[in-house]
Amino acid sequence: MFSLFSFILIGQLIFVVNSNQLRHSLANKQFIDQLTEGSYEIIHPFQLREKSRERMGIDTREHFLNTTPIQHFRQVSFVLRSSVLLNQRLRIALNLNEHLLSGGENKNEAQLFDKTAIQSEKDMEVIRLSDVENCFYQGTVIGEPGSMVTLSTCDGLWGLLAFANGSALGIWPLEGGDKGKRHPHVLFRVFGNGTECGGGGEGSNDIEGQQQEKFIKRRRKRTKKSRGKRKSEGEENLRRLRQQRLFLDIALLVNKEMQYLFNIGQPKLLEYSLNALNLADLIFKKGLNIRISLNYFALIENLNKNNSNQLLDNLLDFTINKLYKEEKDVTIYLTNLNKQKQNNYNALNVDNSVCSGRAVGFTQIYNLYGPQTAALSFAHSLGHILGLEHDLAECGCDMQECVMSGSKGQFDHFPWHFSACSSARLERKRSANQKMECLLKSSNLFSQFSPSFLCGNGQVDQGEECDCGRRDQCSDPCCDPFTCRLRPHANCAAHEECCHRCHVRPSGHLCRPTRSICDVAERCDGKSGECPPDSHLLDGTHCGLGNNGQCWQGDCVDSDEQCREIWGKGSRVAESLCFSKNGHALEYGNCGRDTEGKFVECAPENERCGLLQCHEGSASPTIPNATAFAFQFVQEERQVQCKVVTNSPLGFVKDGTSCGEGRVCIRTVCLPLAQVSPSVKCPSSGSNISQCSGHGDCTSAGQCLCFDGWTGKACDLRTPNRRTDNHHSPSLEFSSLRDISTRFVGVSDGKVILETTTLLIILLFKFG
């Protein structure tokens, strides 16, 4: 019998849903009966289109494309009005998970079983992934930081909304009615259930298990204040993990008998399985930077035996004998749970087996109402297969259970986070390259995506006019986040430097000022919203006070200025005699260290590129904690002073410093400028072979920056105007050298005898 609430519900929906159909729907009755009073409500979600703000039905199919399988919109938005559970209006923004089914994209017809052959075997039916309708979305609740949403939309909205505080809501479409704006759904509270598994025990005997025990013991010694550091530790581990994404290809096997046990058809069983895998993918993506994709899917015979260990053995045998030709990283078997059998677990797997033929596990479930149950079990088992152990008490997630918790029973929250212990353990495995090679691969997805898929990634890719990110992130009034094309009223995108209120700025508007005397200011051309490419004076152009420096990649590199930065006002580069000490492989004269830590002597041609030799200035360097030497001697009745810093990279001559005419220092080696700087040709007039007719400087953009009194593209026309480029207003300004403040650093006196007959006096200062 339906509850009174259910009868009231039917009365409310009579204008949309046939009351007899809803009342006699076995699926509706079974679903509502398993919920507790006050833990659910009936809602009528609708789809909101960004452009027109029009309220649509819940169908996300792109019917006008007429493709097989049917395509779904890549980005959608839904509104859910909760009057009982939350008493608020929820808006969710979703992106189609095009990665989920990408694992099988490269399979040709010969690699897949023919359906007639499959039926004749009577034990396995392989589903062609290319024929599967992808209606699986991932996203967030707008205005709820730290939230996540996974939904399938093949037959109504079916999935999960999880929030940062650990609470979660499930949504399930009732049978009956159409897929319009008034289609009824059940919104219900979701609680977590501990994965009762037979693996990943606490305190394993392997080395990594011992490391985790040591890690836990150290944490136990900390005060409660240390709990506040878990988030930062987890974020630091995740930052390292994000340096390289892992890709996990799954072979998913489903017990075909569940169709009859749960009285559902194959499409619904397939949707449930992929829904669970979609949620597991989002959990791994957010927590460990691992993407999950389905590479193989089949309905197989019942492998269930008397206990879980026998089931795992049967699964392993089946995988080795039947799936040895299939490309996969892990094989997972989904089946129903039979609690009447002894030693029966929700999940069991072969621990730490990834990238081997023994990487298998199974998940057993009670019903097919909530894919989150299978998703958590998937994630938990995959964690063990990757080598993650159960979290101990000190490895909580903000005082809550985590994905790898070994706790049993029901939680009052949905545990979808990995702990700092799990991320640290995976980071150790990755840094040690332990059995993780198969996951360090490029995903087929990113090489086969159509350009339109990249819309929404925040970068303007080929075929796009703009890209302002996801719909809930886009703040560009000029860009359509659905298509990554400019809106009808716009001729440029707001992020472009030469765009103002969606219109191109006039020619000559400064869009990128100079950063140094070797840089060139860029100005809008009046045709495009983009600022012209960043350009600068050619490498090797003289610059600085007295033209003692030279331009290098847009900066003026001047040894005198570098000495002032180290030794303060009044310091200058020392004489060549000081640089000759770099050829002796001493602490105060060298070209760096070799792999054994020994000082390397500079070749004669590289002496000007080793340690920077300065004189005058302050008595101590401005570099904190610097070790420095200062010595002076008399050469041909002249007093020569040499000062160096020996324990800092700042003590070496900067890259780009001149070491002779047409030569430049690069990593303590003096090289021809032509070898390390691209050749650029600027215009010149008539028979004049000099760049810019000898009356200007050439820029990296191949344009001339004319000296005062000259103009024209080749700087060959006289003019009373000041220095200009060939078609822009003045763009270079000289900046004065900054004074470097000095401060006293501790000094210890000592004496050293240098290897030279001309040395009379040595003053050695070592600053610690």
Q: Binding site annotation covers 72?
A: no
State how far the alpha carbon of 658 is from the alpha carbons of 542, 557, 665, in Å.
Answer: 10, 8, 6
Instruction: Look up residue 488 and give its two tokens.
Output: 């009808």
Partners of 645 in the β-ladder? 628
The one-letter amino acid code at 670 reads C
Distance, in Å, from the CA atom of 18 to the CA atom of 515, rounded to the nearest integer, reads: 71
The secondary structure of 11-26, three-state, reads HHCCCCCCHHHHHCCH
What residues contact residue 542 under an 8 Å CB cut-off, 6+ apart? 549, 550, 551
Report the alpha-carbon angle 161-166-171, nearest 5. Answer: 20
State how far the alpha carbon of 393 is from the alpha carbons of 60, 426, 557, 711, in Å.
Answer: 43, 19, 56, 76
What residues contact residue 491 under an 8 Å CB cut-off, 6+ apart? 502, 503, 504, 529
- The length of the chain in residues reads 768
Distance, in Å, from the CA atom of 177 to the CA atom of 183, rounded to the nearest integer, reads: 6
Residue among 151, 180, 145, 150 at smallest CA distance from 165: 145
For tokens 């005699």, name the residue.
Answer: 577
State how far the alpha carbon of 23 is from the alpha carbons of 5, 7, 13, 174, 263, in Å.
Answer: 12, 8, 11, 11, 18
* DSSP code of residue 378: H
| Residue 628 near residue 744, CB atoms below 8 Å | no
Biggest alpha carbon distance in the chain?
A: 114
State how far the alpha carbon of 557 is from the alpha carbons of 170, 553, 554, in Å.
Answer: 62, 9, 9
| Residue 439 near residue 248, CB atoms below 8 Å | yes
Q: Binding site annotation covers 390?
A: yes
Residue among 210, 166, 159, 164 at smallest CA distance from 185: 159
Distance, in Å, from the CA atom of 39 to the CA atom of 169, rounded to the nearest integer, reads: 10
Distance, in Å, from the CA atom of 181 to the CA atom of 279, rounded to the nearest integer, reads: 25
Cis peptide before 145 (omega within 30 of 0): no
Is the Cα dihedral 102, 103, 106, 109 positive or negative? negative
Partners of 246 in the β-ladder? 290
Distance, in Å, from the CA atom of 420 to the CA atom of 296, rounded to the nearest integer, reads: 32
Q: Binding site annotation covers 542?
A: no
Distance, in Å, from the CA atom of 68 to the CA atom of 309, rounded to the nearest integer, reads: 42
For tokens 């069983």, name the residue.
Answer: 269
Residue among 152, 126, 151, 133 at smallest CA distance from 141: 151
Angle, helix 420-431 to helix 266-288, in steps of 10 degrees: 80
Torsion angles phi and psi, residue 147, rounded to 5 = -85, 165
Q: In what helix (H) or strand (E) does residue 161 lie, and over which residues does it extend? A: strand 158-162
* DSSP code of residue 395: G
Q: Computed over its alpha carbons, how large is the radius of gyration of the chain?
A: 35
Binding residues for Zn(2+): 380, 384, 390
Binding residues: 380, 384, 390
